[in-house]
Structure 1
Amino acid sequence: MSEAIERFFDSLPSRAPAVLRSTVAGTIQIDLATGDGTTHWLVRLQPGEAEVTRARGPADAIWHSSEDLFDRLVTGRAQAIAAMLRNESTFGGNVVLFLAFRRFFPSPPGARDPRDIVRAQAGRPR
């Protein structure tokens, strides 16, 4: 298990109040496959809260991914929806949980919010 993945899951409870502002609630089981096995994470999401355990269990959704892809997701080098569309990972169950969970992933390195660019340009004379 990469250190980036461990830090990502460790950070979820403290980051949840800023990320989970909607009424989404449910449990996602995340299965990360490596060459010699699968690591399981169970993430319970509630408005403003996230609880993380290394377990399998009853879940509203299951996400299967390679550990390598998930490492790229948690470091901003890959995008979750694009990975799903390319069949690099699979997701079954309540898709709203996936859409809420993906907000925990960072933006790609060097990415800027387009609104910030427009604001900066609006302040400059042409």
Structure 2
Amino acid sequence: MSEAIEQFFASLPARAPAVLRSPIGGTLQIDLTDGNRTEHWYVTLAPGSARVSRQEERPPDAILTAATQLFEGLVTGREAGMATVLRNEATFGGQVVLFLALRRFLPNPPGVRDPRDAAREHVRRST
């Protein structure tokens, strides 16, 4: 398991209050594959909180499966979450809102700006 992935999962609980403001809840199982080996991570999301575990506490509401190397690209911003699913490089099943919530924790690829930030900057320059 790469250090970037370990750090990503370790950071989720501290970042959740700022990221998860909407009423969301459920457990997302993330399966990371590397050859014949699969590692399971369980992320339980609730408004303002995220809990990460390596042990299944209850059946997941959704499952994301990706190669370990691809997931490292997601957590470092080299890959875009939705694009990997649309290209069928990663698979997702279950409550899609959990995948969309997880995407909020992922960094943007280098050089990409949030359109809301660009609009705010434009307004500041105009006034």
TM-score (norm 1): 0.91
Code of the aligned partner of 1:83:
T
Alignment gaps of 5+ in structure 2? none
CA RMSD in angstroms, aligned pairs only: 1.7
Letter in 2 for 1:55: Q
Q: Percent identity?
A: 60
Query: Which residue number in structure 1 is paired with residue 54 of structure 2?
Result: 54
CA distance in 1, matches of 2:65, 2:114: 29
Q: 1:110 to 1:92 in 2, by over 3 A?
A: same
Alignment partner, residue 40 of structure 1: 40
1:81 corresponds to: 82
One-letter code aligned to 1:73: L
Normalized against structure 2, the TM-score is what?
A: 0.90
SS of structure 1 residue aligned to 2:32: strand
AA matched with 1:94: Q
> How far is 1:58 from its partner?
1.1
SS state at 1:109 partner: coil
* 1:27 maps to amino acid: T
SS in 2 for 1:104: coil
Deviation per CA, 1:4-50: give whole Å up to 9, x if none: 00000000000000110100100000000002401100000000000
1:111 to 1:37, Cα distance in 2 relative to 1, 3 A: same
Letter in 1 for 2:99: F
Paired position in structure 1 for 2:111:
110
Post-superposition Cα deviations, 1:74-107, rounded to whole Å, max 9, x if no partner, equal 0000111000000001011111111111100001
Write the distance in 2 (CA, Å) between the matches of 1:100 and 1:107: 14
| Distance of 1:20 and 1:120 partners within structure 2 | 24
Give CA deviations for 1:53-89 in whole Å, capped at 9, x if unaligned.
1124510011110001100000000111000000001
- Matched length: 125
Give the aligned partner of residue 69 of structure 1: 70
